[in-house]
Structure 1
Amino acid sequence: MKRETQIYVGGQWQESTADSVIEVVNPATEEVIAEVARGTTADVDAAVSAATVAFDDWSHSTVDDRVAVLRAWADQIEANADEVTDTIVAEIGQPVTWAQRASTDMTVRDLRNFADALPEILWAEQVGTASVRRLPAGVVGAITAWNGPIRSVCLKAGAAIAAGCTVVLKSSEVAPLTPFLLPGYTEKSGLPAGVLNIVTGTGPEVGEAMVTHPGVDMVSLTGSVRAGSRVMELAARSIKKVALELGGKSANVILPGADLDHAITVGIQDAFRNSGQACGALTRVLVPRNRLAEAEALAALTAKSFIVGDPTDRATHLGPLANRDQYDRVRSHIERAIGKGVTLVAGGLDRPEGLDRGFYVRPTVFSGTNDDRIAREEVFGPVLVIIPFDDEDDAVRIANDTDYGLAGGVWAADPDHARAVAGRIRTGRVRINGAPIDMRAPHGGLKLSGIGREMGRHGIEDYLEYQSLHG
């Protein structure tokens, strides 16, 4: 078992001032695989001080300097892809094929997208008699999510560093081991000491200390609505800029005339990616009422086709949920929906066959209404609900009848028609007929799904401020 009691500050590993540790559990085996420091306010102070010292030089680095660092950083992750992927699999149970493709490889692409986007940013412009410049926001406190232990970190730290900011990172206590790999890569990439600092610990201790720290200028969080609300509350006391990437309850609208079989198959693949632990997962499937029974049958077949099992097996589609709390929470959602009489189409509370340990949940499909609690609350597991609609206006109404607004999908025989309907949906991103997501475009939400955008040029610009020079 690993014991990682150090934090990364000012380009060096140093002992945390913590007097206790946090256990890291492999969700497939339920065994403790590591211990990390339960960081303290003193640790945060040290990290913020290092980031503050480093900010003056890094904020004046050239675009070419930052492009070179980002490309070298991406190259380092790519060269160490197996190490990164294996660590992700061990600490959150992502199936190895998915972890490689959607976590490791995608992070490499994200960093290269940032490098490509930097020269595209309008760093200075003349507005009348004033010169307007873009400036880095300052020292950024980055609080990242366990469901993306490499990608979530690099989407924040990569964009902030690209903007000329310095970063204090609090990685998730559920998945701290993958971020610990990054300093070895960033040092070889030429990133100066103090630009990236890492403190492990819990949200109430380390996270809140970062948000309230007078030396932190901006806070970026990926997490739950509750966590986002708390960050906003605390950040408001010192008027800090915040960026929040929160939850979702996204609708996949399948219009009359669409290829129902294909739309159901691709939609469920989206909903169940990373075992359903994806904020943008399309977990509400909206279908014409006269095709409800057909949709239920197709969804049942698709859900039953997923291989649930050992995440180190390349044949596995769905691994375990990331931790015990998540496992209990998802099962409670399923149990409550069954108890309320929502129609169970596939899955349920029984453990997947042959798996007597690990935090595994069967791929589960319900059929109900948009008023059911299972259709209102984010489950964050392999659970979706099919909802019938009467006509196109009814479909749009149901899609928008949610507190969230992160993602969505629209399927139609005519792509132009699908785009027209997508334009009526109040959400940050919509896939048309299952089209792949272009990772250079912005990702983020409306309503309870958050504030700000990640990925590509727009992700970098979230970490910039304007300065006007007159005369």
Structure 2
Amino acid sequence: MREYLKFYIGGEWTDPAQLQTFDIVNPATEEVCGRVANGSAADVDRAVQAARAAFPSWSASSVADRLDLLRNIAAEYQNRAKDLASALTEEMGAPNALANGFQVDLATGHAATAIEVLERYSFEELRGSSLIVKEPIGVCGLITPWNWPMNQIAVKVFPALATGNTMVLKPSERSPFTGQIFAEILAAAGVPAGVFNL
């Protein structure tokens, strides 16, 4: 049985402000397959503060640095693909073939797309005598549904990272395992503290 009782905030696995847990039920077996911590407003505030603190440096990072990080994440993601597929099967009852062959692979494609677009994207555009500069917007709140957890995490996180934004991810309480593993992947890939928070 999986147990995730910490949050990833400011580059560290931290205890919740107040430990309250709930069980995760595998819908295919109707059996409890894990237990996770339930976040509070205080936990969200800490995560947002960490993301705000990281924003000035991350938003000023170079395209080359962001590309390096995205490539590191993509490589680490491949290393953990089987763990993610197993988590998908447990948390949402996905058949192994769907979890391995489709759900996990979709996120790989989103990473590749973010890298490809960032390699050729121009953050500055001259229109006549005006210079249009596209800048990171700030802290992104990312809330994902239960039914396509890895796809929805990837389709939000990769573009946010590529464009220099920081973020707080709140995965669905019905399928939180993939979010936890994804946070482990980002930590292992070297995401700067506070850029990604869970």
Whether the TM-score (by the shorter chain) exceeds 0.5 is yes
Deviation per residue, 1:292-318 (Å, 9 max, x gap): xxxxxxxxxxxxxxxxxxxxxxxxxxx
- Please report how far the alpha carbon of residue 197 of structure 1 lies from its aligned counterpart in structure 2 after TM superposition: 0.3
Mapping 1:35-434, distance limit 5 Å? 35-198=35-198
**Letter of the 1:48 counterpart:** V
Residue of structure 2 in register with 1:6 after alignment: 6
- 4+ residue stretches of structure 1 with deviation over 6 A? none
1:78 and 1:105 in contact (8 A); partners too = no
CA drift of 1:22 comes to 2.0
Counterparts of 2:29 and 2:184, CA distance in 1: 28
Partners of 1:133 and 1:102 in 2: how far apart?
Answer: 37
1:168 partner SS: strand
- 8 A Cα contact 1:20 1:37, kept in partner: yes
Q: Deviations over 1:112-156 (max 9, x none)?
A: 110011122221012232211000111000000111121211110
User: 1:110, 1:19 → 2: CA distance?
Assistant: 34
Aligned residues of 1:89 and 1:96 also touching (Cα < 8 A): yes
CA contact (8 A) 1:10 1:51 kept: yes
For 1:30, the equivalent position in structure 2 comes to 30
Alpha-carbon distance in 2 for matches of 1:159, 1:30: 35
Question: Bigger radius of gyration, 1 or 2?
Answer: 1
Q: TM-score, normalised by structure 1?
A: 0.41
- Which consecutive unaligned segments of at least 5 residues does structure 1 have? 199-471
The structural deviation recorded for 1:81 is 1.2
For 1:108 and 1:31, the matched residues in 2 are separated by 30
CA–CA distance in structure 2, aligned partners of residues 163 and 10 of structure 1: 19
Given that 1:77 and 1:104 are in contact with CA atoms closer than 8 Å, whether structure 2 keeps it comes out as no
1:19 Cα deviation after fit: 4.1
User: 1:161-198, CA deviations, whole angstroms, 9 ceiling, x for partnerless residues?
Assistant: 11100010100000001110122211222211111100
Q: How many aligned positions are there?
A: 198
* Structure 2: stretches of 5+ with no match in the other structure: none
Q: Which piece of structure 1 moves more, 93-102 or 138-147?
A: 93-102
Q: 1:21 deviation in Å?
A: 1.5
Report if the CA contact (8 A) 2:4-2:180 is conserved: no
Aligned mates of 1:161, 1:22 — CA distance in 2: 30
Kept after mapping to 2: 8 A contact 1:18/1:37: no
RMSD of equivalent CA atoms: 1.2
Give the AA of the match of 1:129. S
CA contact under 8 A between 1:124 and 1:133: conserved in structure 2?
Answer: yes
Q: Deviations over 1:355-383 (max 9, x none)?
A: xxxxxxxxxxxxxxxxxxxxxxxxxxxxx
Determine if contact 2:169/2:197 at 8 Å carries over to the other structure: yes
